[in-house]
C-alpha cells in the first residue's frame, strides 16, 4: 500500500477532503468487461450516507457519484456501463460545506483526533472537517468496493454490527435479510436488538457522549486458493484494509482472539469427503483462511471501532501555541461511528478479495 | 507487500523452506552507515531458536546467520559491519533435516494446516516440513528485524507473552528485565507466572495437545509523525506485519477490542503542556497512534496466536485421493507456538516502524 | 510502475479518455508546504495545448485545470496554494467532443495505432478518440510535472525540439530563451530553424502526411546523489518515463547511442578540483548520471517520436470482422506530434527526478 | 521497480557484490509447475561468464549456480526441478577474489565510474571490485532470465551484437545459429564479421583502450496483448530493464531513433488478412509493440553500451581528499563490455515479457 493507494492488481487510489470541492477514487487494474450500473454504485453509497437517521451525523450530503472514465455504455442499454480495463475514476462532489468559524478548531488539538499528529508530521494541516481523516473519505472506498464485488463471480460480501458499546446482539437471531430493513438504522442482524440499541444510543447521544462498536464481515462464494503463505496472506490484506478505516483499533479473523484461549483440539477444522465427493469442512474456526490462503468456506472478519472522540464533555488538551485548553466538540457528529462502518468494512473486504483473485489468476492461471 | 516481500523503503524479502539447504532474507533500502555486529543479529536469532527448553520443538538448529552482502567491515574493528546502502543478504543454513518417510504427510491434509489450501492454490506442494509455512521462515524476519532496530535512533522494541491458553499474567508484576532471564522459558514479564505456565504447559504437552497465546509488543522511542492518515497508517502496517506471522488470528492496537465497549470520555487520551513546555499525553488508550500517525508515546500492539494444529489426538480429515482419513501428527512440535512468536512480533514491529521512519523522512524531510 | 501510476514516493496516477467528461491525475506523496499557483500549472498546460498554430491539431480545448484536493490557500494570499502532504487531485474537463459518426473507426484497425492491440488485450475498446492512447492523457502528466518542478529546490527542467523529420537544428544557435518566443511554434532553440521547419511542415501537412521528431530535455540544478546503482538508476527511470509517452520509440542519456562508436578515452568525463575546491567535471558525455546516480551536472536525455500514423494516404489494414480494408484517417491531427511532446518530456523528467529526490532523502537522510 | 528489485508479478531481487562471499537473486511470483534443470540455468550463465576468450576479462569465476529454495525435484527424474510457486533463491559463490592492495582505488575517483557518485550518495563505498556496479551482479539477472524464458509458452528470446565501435555487421549475413558457434567470441550473427571484430578489438586491447557496442534482442513467440496503454507499456518496461544494465546509454524499440526521420507512410505497419484468416502484419517497424501492447510479431529492442571507463590511458580525476590525480586503470578488464551484454539483455527482455504475461493474465484472464 502506498500512502493513498491500496491493492496490487485491483488498485484503489482515493483523494479529497471533506471541505474541498469533491472527493473520489481511481480504480486501476479492473478487468475489462465488468458490467454495472451507476445505480448499483449509488445504492452502496446510500447505505453509508449520513443524515438518514438521528443516530448518524446530520450533515446533508447527497453523495451522488459520477463515473468519469474507464467505461463505455452497452450498445443495447445505455444504463449499463462496461469497464474497458482502463482506470475507472469516480467523483463525489461536496455540497453541504457550511461556512463556519474554524477559529478554535484551527488552533486546538482535539484529544483522540489526528490534529496533533498531523501538525507534527506535515507542519501544516487542513483543519476544515478533519482533512483526510474525515469519514467522508470512506465514500470513495465504498464506490470502489461496489466495483470490486463484481470482479469475483459469485462472491457475496455482507456485514453486520454485532455489538455497540456494552450491548451485544443475540447470534441466535441472526437474519441477514433484516440488515437492510427500513426499520433497522443499525445494520444489526438481530431484530430484537433494535429496541435495545435505540434506547442505549439515545441515551448516549443526549449525554453528548459516544460509544464504540464491533462489526462482522462475511464473504461467501470466495474461491479456494486466494492469498499466499507469507506476506500476501489473504487474512493479512483483509486486516490491513480494515485497520485502514478510521477509528478501527483491532481486527480478527475467524475465531480470532478467542483462539488464544483454545486447545488444538478445539480449534481444528476437521474435514470429510462430502456427498458430492469433494472435501468438506466440518467447522470454520479459521474464518475461511488456512496458511493465508482461502479454503472455499466463508471468509469471516471482525473489527472494533472506537467511540468517536468528538464529544460534548470537555476534555483537557493543548493548542498550537503550547497552552493548556479544554476542548468541547460541538456540531454534527455520530454518537456511534461504528454503524456506518458496516458498508465500509464490506467494501474493504471486497477489494482485498478482488485483488487476490486477480493476483492468484496472474501467478497460477488456475482460475477462470 | 508482495508475495514474499514487506515494507516500502525498508524492504524485506524472505525465501526458503525448512527442508531445503538454507533460508534467508534480502534487506533492501537499509540506510548506509548503520553499524552492527554479527553477534547482535545472532543474539536475536538465538532468542527464537528451537531446542532451548522442553516447551519448544526439539529440532536442533544452530541457526547461524551469515551476512553475504551490503556491508563493509569497519577499518578500526573488523567485528563491526557497516551497511553501504546496498542490499543486505543474510542466510541461515538448514542443518537438522532428519530424513524420514513423508509418505502419509505427503498425501494427507492435516486439519488446521495449509496443506489443503497449498494444493488447491498451486497444484503442487513441498510437504517436507510445511514448506513456506514452516516456522523456520520466521528466522529470516528476526534477522531483518535486528537490522531494523538500528534504523530508528533511540527506538527500543520489546515483547512479552501476556496469556497462554486460559492462563494470564498479572500486569501488576510486569518486569521487562525478567523477560530475558535464564529462568524464564516463556518471555513472560511476570515472574509469578512461570510456575503457573510451567505446570499448565507440561499438562498440555503430555496430553499431546496444544494451546494458543497472547503476545504484546511495545515500541518505545518512536518519534511522533510516522505513518499517514489513510492507507499507510502506522497501525495498519504493524497489523499487517503481525498478521503475516504464522498462526496469528487477531491484532489490536492500544486498547484495541476493548474500545468497542468504551465511551468517548473513557477512550480520550487527554493532553497537557508538560513541565518542559512540550505537549504531554495523560493516557495511552490509543497505543501511541492517532489517525494512523505516531504520537511519540509508546506504540503498543497485541496479537493472538492460535494453538498449533499439530497434535497427537487424531482428527478427521481427507487425503489427496479424496478419501476420509484420521490424522495424528507425530514428531517434534511446540505445545505453544505463541512463545517463540515474541521475538518474531518484535521483529515485525521494528521493521514496520523503520520503514515508516524512512518514508516520513522521504516525504517531509522533517526528521534527521 | 503500475498500469496507470508512475513514481514511488512522488506518485502520479492518471485517468481519463479524450471523449469522456474529464481527465486528470492524482499526485500522491507530494511533500507538504510546496507553494504554487493555479496559474503556474495552467501555464504549463497551455504550452502543450492544441489549437495554437496550424501545426498542431485544431481541436479546441481550453484545458482549464482544477485542483480538487490536497491544498490549502495561503492565509495572506489566497492565490497561493500550499500542499498539505495529502493527495493532490487535478482535473481537466473535456469540452470539444464533436459528436460524429464513429462507424468506420469503430470497426477498422488503423495501422500504427493501438486499435488492434486494444481489442486483442481487452476484448473491448473505447474507439472514441483513441481511448487512453489519446494525446489528451498527457495533459495530466504536464499538470503533475508542474508540481514536480517545485519539489527539488533550484531545479530547472527545459526541453527543445532538435530535429523534425530530415531537418535538424544547428546547435551553434542554441538559445533557451527563444524556445518560449511567440514566433516559435516548434519549441526549437535555433531561431534560424523556424523558417526551415515551417516550410517543411507545411509541405508535410498539405500532403496529408506526418513526420517524426527528436526532443532533448535538460535538467539543471539536480543535486548529486539521486538514483541508485542497479534497478533504480536515475537514467533508467527517466528512460521509462519518456518511453511511456505516446509514439516514443527510443531514449538516450548523454551521448547515448553515439557512445557505442566511441573509445573509452573519448567517452570519459575527466575531473579536476575547481577554483572553489570542489570536484569539477570537464565534460558531460554521461549526461549527468554515472552508475545510475546523478553527478550534479545537467541531466540530459533525448527521445525519438515517431510520425503519427493518422495520415490521409490510404493504408492497407483489416477490420474487426476479419476483412481487408483501406484506412484513410480524416479529421484533426498533428502533422508532427513530436512538437507538443516537448513539455510532456519535461514533465516526465521532472517527475522522475522529484521521485528520486524524495527516495534519496528517505534512504540516506543526506539531503535537506 | 524498487532499488534492487524489478518486475511486478514476476519479481526479481538481486543482491551481492563482486568481492563478498557470494551474489544471487530471489525470483518471487514464479508460477508453480515450471520445470527446469540446473544445467539449463548454468548454460545461460556460462554464456556470459568471463575468461572464455582474450576479449573478455580474465577473472576466473566458475559461476556455479545453486538453487536454494522454491523447487521440488520431479519424482521420476531428480534432475528436473519443479517450481512450487514460492520464492526461488539462487546463489553464485565468488571464488576468484584476488587479494590486492586497494590503496589507490579506494581513494581515487575513476572517471566514468560510479566511484564519485557512490560517495556523494551514500557517504560510504565498497570500492572492492566496484560494489553493486560490478558486472558480476548481472550473473544474477541471467539466472533469473533463464527461469523467465520458461514462463511464456513458446517464447524464444535471442540477442546479437550488431556493432562494435566503428565496425558493423552486415545484416544480409544474419545467422542466428552462428551466434552460439564456438568460433564466435562476439555473439555476432554475421560470420564475416568475426575477422573484422577480431582485428579491431585486438588493436583496441593492445592500446589499453576500450570500445562501445550495439546489441539487438529479438523475442519471438510473444502473444499479442501483453503490456498496457500508458505507464505499463511493454516497450517501456523493456527499455527500463535494458537501461538498468551497466554502461547502457540508450534503448530503442523497432525502428527506434530512425522513426524520427520517417514519414507516417514509411512507418506504418500495414495489415492484411492472411491465408489462415488471421490478421497479418506486412512489416514490423513498430518492433512488435503498438500503443504499449504486443502485436504478436517479434519484439525487437536495441541498446547502446558505452566503452568501459577502465582504460590504461591516464585520465584526469580527483581523489577523496579533494586533490587532482591522474588515474590509469590496471588489471583485468574487458576491452568491449558490450560483448557479454548480449545474454544479459536477453535476460532482461525475457523477465519483462514474463512479468507482463502474468499481469495480462491477472487483469484479463484472456490467456491460458
Q: Within an 8 Å CB–CB cutoff, is residue D229 touching chain A?
A: yes
Closest C-chain CA to D161? C260
Higher pLDDT, B268 or A255: A255
Q: Confirm or reject contact between A136 and chain C (CB < 8 A).
A: no
Could you tell me the three cell numbers for A178? 433484516
pLDDT for C247:
95
DSSP B152: S
pLDDT tens, position by position, A270-309 = 999 999 999 999 999 999 999 999 999 999 999 999 998 8
Q: What percent of chain A has pLDDT over 90?
A: 80
Å between D54 CA and nearest CA of chain C: 18
Q: What is the dihedral of CA A63, A66, A70, A76, to 10 degrees?
A: 120
The residues in C 39-98 lying below 8 A from D, measured between CB atoms, are none
Q: What is the mean pLDDT of chain A?
A: 92
Tell me how close the Cα of B132 comes to any Cα of chain D, in angstroms.
7
Closest residue of chain A to D151, computed from CA coordinates: A363
Contact criterion met (CB below 8 Å) for B248 and B359: no
Contacts of D350 (CB under 8 A, 6+ apart): D145, D148, D149, D155, D157, D219
Q: Which three cell numbers stand for residue B226?
A: 510516522
Residue D366 CA to residue D368 CA, distance in Å, equals 7
The grid coordinates of residue B35 equal: 553499524
Q: So what's the ipTM on this one? A: 0.96
CB contact under 8 A, D324 and C294: no
What is the structure's pLDDT at B99? 55
Q: Is D315 annotated as a binding residue?
A: no
For residue B356, the chain C residue with the least C-alpha distance is: C362
**CB-CB neighbours of C156 under 10 Å:** 15
Whole-number pLDDT of residue A58:
60
Q: What is the pLDDT of residues C7-29, one digit of tens each?
A: 999 999 999 998 889 999 999 99
Adjacency order of strands within the sheet including D88-93: D5-6, D11-16, D22-28, D88-93, D65-67
C60 marked among binding-site residues: no
CB contact under 8 A, B361 and C359: no
How far apart are alpha carbons D217 and C227 in whole angstroms? Answer: 26
Taking contacts as CB-CB distances below 8 angstroms, the residues of chain A near C89 are: 15-16, 22, 24
Q: Between chains, do C363 and B85 touch, taking CB under 8 Å as contact?
A: yes
Residue C294 labeled ligand binder: no
How close D83 comes to chain A (CA, Å)?
A: 11
D323: number of Cβ within 10 Å: 11
Q: What is the per-residue pLDDT across C202-234, written as a single tens digit (0 to 9) for each?
A: 999 999 999 999 999 999 999 999 999 999 999
Q: What is the mean pLDDT of residues A208-226?
A: 97
B232 — phi, psi (to 5°)? -130, 40
Residue with cell 504531554: B280
Pairwise CA distance, residues C98 & C330, whole Å: 14
pLDDT > 80? residue B27: yes
How far is A290 from A267, CA to CA, in rounded Å?
Answer: 12
B229 touches chain C (CB under 8 A): yes
pLDDT of B1 above 60: no
Q: How far apart are CA B12 and CA C52, in angstroms?
A: 51
- The answer to whether the predicted template modeling score (pTM) of the entire model surpasses 0.90 is yes
pLDDT, residue B361, reads 97
pLDDT tens column, B244-259: 999 999 999 999 999 9
Residue C332, marked binder: yes
Rounded to a whole number, what is the distance in Å from the CA of D248 to chain A's nearest CA? 30
B314 to chain C, minimum CA–CA distance in Å? 48
Nearest CA in chain B to C30: B363
Mean pLDDT of B227-241: 96
Which of B11, B17, B34 to probe by mutation at the D interface, max D CB count within 10 Å? B17
All partners of chain A with 3 or more CB pairs under 8 angstroms? B, C, D
Q: Quote the pLDDT of residue C59.
A: 62
Q: Residue C26 and residue A22: Cβ atoms within 8 Å?
A: no
Contact flag B244-A233 (C-beta cutoff 8 Å): yes
**Percentage of residues in chain A having pLDDT higher than 70:** 95
Return the pLDDT at D132. 86
Q: Which chains touch B (3 or more CB pairs under 8 A)?
A: A, C, D
For chain C (length 368 residues), average pLDDT per consecutive 10?
88 93 97 97 89 68 91 95 97 77 78 90 84 87 98 98 98 97 95 97 94 98 96 97 97 98 94 94 97 97 94 91 89 85 98 98 91
Cβ contact, residue pair B362, C364, below 8 Å: no
pLDDT class for B334, splitting at 50, 70, 90? confident
The pLDDT of A183-208, averaged and rounded, is 96
The 10s digit of each residue's pLDDT in A78-101 is: 999 999 999 999 999 998 765 565
* Residues in chain D where the model's pLDDT stays below 50: 1
CB-based contact, D310 to chain C, within 8 Å? yes
Q: Decide if A2 and C28 are in contact by the 8 Å CB cutoff.
A: yes
**Rounded to whole angstroms, how far apart are CA atoms B70 and B89?**
7
Q: Which residues contact A250 (CB under 8 A, 6 or more apart)?
A: A303, A304, B250, B251, B252, B253, B256, B257, B259, B260
All cell numbers assigned to C231:
534497478
Task: Find, in chain D, the residue whose alpha carbon is nearest to that of C215.
Answer: D260
pLDDT of residue B333: 75
Average of per-residue pLDDT across B94-103: 68
The CA distances from residue A299 to A178, A231, B307, in Å, are 21, 18, 20
User: For the CA atoms of A308, A309, A310, A315, what is the dihedral angle to 10 degrees?
Assistant: 160
Residue B306 among known ligand-binding residues: yes
- D107 inside 8 A of chain B by CB: no
**DSSP-derived secondary structure letter, A226:** -
- List CB contacts of C145: < 8 A, sequence separation 6 or more: C44, C157, C343, C346, C347, C348, C350, C351
Amino acid at each position: 500500500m502506498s500512502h493513498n493507494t491500496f491493492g496490487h492488481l485491483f488498485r484503489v487510489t482515493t483523494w479529497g477532503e471533506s471541505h474541498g470541492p469533491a472527493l473520489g477514487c481511481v480504480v486501476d487494474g479492473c478487468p475489462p468487461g465488468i458490467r454495472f450500473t451507476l445505480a448499483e454504485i449509488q445504492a452502496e453509497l446510500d447505505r453509508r450516507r449520513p443524515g438518514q437517521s438521528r443516530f448518524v451525523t446530520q450533515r446533508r450530503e447527497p453523495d451522488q457519484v459520477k463515473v468519469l472514465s474507464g467505461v463505455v455504455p452497452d450498445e443495447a442499454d445505455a444504463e449499463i456501463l462496461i469497464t474497458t480495463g482502463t482506470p475507472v475514476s469516480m467523483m463525489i462532489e461536496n455540497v453541504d460545506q457550511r461556512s463556519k468559524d474554524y477559529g478554535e478548531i484551527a488552533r486546538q488539538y482535539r484529544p483522540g483526533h489526528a490534529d496533533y499528529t498531523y501538525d507534527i508530521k506535515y507542519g501544516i494541516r487542513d483543519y476544515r472537517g478533519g482533512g483526510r481523516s474525515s469519514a467522508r473519505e470512506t465514500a470513495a472506498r465504498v464506490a470502489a468496493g461496489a466495483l470490486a464485488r463484481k470482479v469475483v463471480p459469485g462472491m457475496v460480501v455482507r456485514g453486520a454490527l454485532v455489538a455497540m458499546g456494552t450491548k451485544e446482539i443475540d447470534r441466535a437471531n441472526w437474519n441477514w435479510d433484516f440488515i437492510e430493513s427500513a426499520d433497522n438504522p443499525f445494520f444489526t442482524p438481530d431484530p430484537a436488538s433494535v429496541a435495545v440499541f435505540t434506547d442505549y444510543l439515545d441515551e448516549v447521544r443526549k449525554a453528548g457522549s459516544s460509544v464504540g462498536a464491533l462489526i462482522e464481515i462475511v464473504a461467501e462464494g470466495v474461491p479456494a486458493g486466494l492469498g499466499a503463505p507469507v506476506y500476501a496472506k489473504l487474512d493479512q490484506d483483509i486486516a490491513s484494509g480494515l485497520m485502514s478505516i478510521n477509528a478501527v483499533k483491532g481486527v480478527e479473523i475467524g475465531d480470532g482472539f478467542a483462539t488464544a484461549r483454545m486447545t488444538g483440539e478445539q480449534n481444528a477444522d476437521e474435514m470429510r469427503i462430502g456427498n458430492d465427493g469433494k472435501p468438506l469442512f466440518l467447522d470454520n474456526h479459521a474464518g475461511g483462511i488456512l496458511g493465508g490462503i482461502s479454503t472455499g468456506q466463508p471468509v469471516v472478519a471482525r473489527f472494533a471501532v472506537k467511540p468517536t472522540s468528538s464529544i460534548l464533555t470537555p476534555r483537557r488538551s493543548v493548542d498550537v501555541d503550547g497552552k493548556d485548553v479544554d476542548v468541547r466538540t460541538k456540531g454534527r457528529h455520530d454518537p456511534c461511528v461504528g454503524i456506518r462502518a458496516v458498508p465500509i468494512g464490506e467494501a474493504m473486504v471486497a477489494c482485498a478479495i478482488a485483488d487476490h483473485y486477480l493476483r492468484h489468476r496472474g501467478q497460477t492461471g488456475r482460475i477462470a
